[in-house]
Structure 1
C-alpha cells in the first residue's frame, strides 16, 4: 500500500514522505490514527504544502538542535497540576502541558508532537521526558510534577 505520511513516524519517515507499507499496517494503524493518507495524484500535490509547513517548524541544523538540547537538559521544569491526597493526578500529564511548563520556565518553544512520553505520567514527583529535536538529536527534560 502506498501512503503519504502526515506526521513523523519512527522508523518510517517524516511528514510528506511517500512510503510503501503492508496493507494491514496502513489500513488498520497509520490511516485511522491520522498518521498517513492514501497516496493519490491529488494527494501528492498536498505533499508540497506539508513539506513547507514542516520546514517552517523544523530545527534546521544539528548544531541548533544541540544548543536547544543543552538548554533543555540544564533546565529544571516544574509542572503544577491537580492531584488527590494520595499523590495521584486527576488525569495525566500531556505533551501540551509539558510544552507550557517549558515556556513558563523561560525555555525554548517546542512542538508538542516532538515530545515522547514513554509511560503516562499520573503521579506527583520527578519524571524524565524525551524530546526528539532532530533525527540525530534527542534531549531529556527533568520534569517535577507538584500539586497545585
Structure 2
C-alpha cells in the first residue's frame, strides 16, 4: 500500500515521503491517526496545497521539543534509592521512577519516551536519553544516591539554581525561535 506521510513517522519516513507499507499498518494506524494519506494523483495535489501548513506545524513541534530539551539537559535528577551492603541497590531505577522524578522537578515527560537499554542498578551518575521528537533527543543526567545519606543543603540549593537556569534557558530559546 502506497501512502504519503503527513508527519514525520519514526522508522518510516518524514513529511511528504511516499512510502510503501503493509496494508494493515496503513489502514489500522497511519490513516486513522492522520499520519498519512493514500498516494493517488488527486491526493498528491491536495498534499502539495497542505504542505506549508503541515511543515509549519512540524517546525513548531520541533521548536517546542528543543526548548524542552534545553530545560531537561539543565536539570539534575537526584533519585534516592534504598541500598544494602557494598552499595548494592534493592531493586532498580526504571523509566517510571525517572519520569516521576522529572515530573517532581516541574517538567512533564511521558515515561514511554525515556530510552533505557536496561534499568539502572548502581549508584552514581547515569546519562538517560529522552526522545522528545523524531529529531530531538535530550540527555538527562540522573544521579542515583543512597537514601541513607543525608543530602547536603548545598546540593539542594544547586538543584534549585539549575531548575531556575533551565527555565531561563528555555525562555531564551523560545524567544529566539519566535523571533526567527
If the TM-score is normalised by the length of the shorter chain, which range does it land in? 0.5 to 0.7
**Alignment map for 1:66-85 (pairs within 5 Å):** 66-85=66-85
Summarize deviations over 1:110-129 as a string: whole Å, max 9, x none.
Answer: 11111011343100111010
SS of the residue aligned with 1:61?
helix
Match of 1:39 among 11, 14, 24: 24
**Alignment map for 1:105-144 (pairs within 5 Å):** 105-106=105-106, 108-144=107-143
| In structure 2, distance between residues paired with 1:10 and 1:46 | 13
Q: Mark the CA change 1:82 to 1:62 in structure 2 (over 3 Å): closer, same or farther.
A: same
Q: How many residues align?
A: 113
Q: Mark the CA change 1:92 to 1:10 in structure 2 (over 3 Å): closer, same or farther.
A: farther
Instruction: Specify the alignment match of 2:62 in structure 1.
Output: 62
Instruction: Specify the alignment match of 2:39 in structure 1.
Output: none
| In structure 1, distance between residues paired with 2:84 and 2:21 | 46
Larger helix share, 1 or 2: 2
| In structure 1, distance between residues paired with 2:108 and 2:84 | 30
| In structure 1, distance between residues paired with 2:102 and 2:136 | 18
Shift in Å, 1:39:
2.6
Shift in Å, 1:86:
1.3
Larger strand share, 1 or 2: 1
SS of the residue aligned with 2:85?
coil
Q: Which runs of 5+ in 2 are unaligned?
A: 1-8, 14-19, 36-59, 148-180
Q: Which runs of 5+ in 1 are unaligned?
A: 1-8, 21-37, 53-59
| In structure 2, distance between residues paired with 1:86 and 1:10 | 42
SS of the residue aligned with 1:64?
helix
Q: Mark the CA change 1:91 to 1:49 in structure 2 (over 3 Å): closer, same or farther.
A: farther
Summarize deviations over 1:7-64 as a string: whole Å, max 9, x none.
Answer: xx96357xxxx944xxxxxxxxxxxxxxxxx938xx9457666569xxxxxxx61110
Structure 1 contact 118–129 (Cα < 8 Å) conserved: no
| In structure 2, distance between residues paired with 1:111 and 1:144 | 20
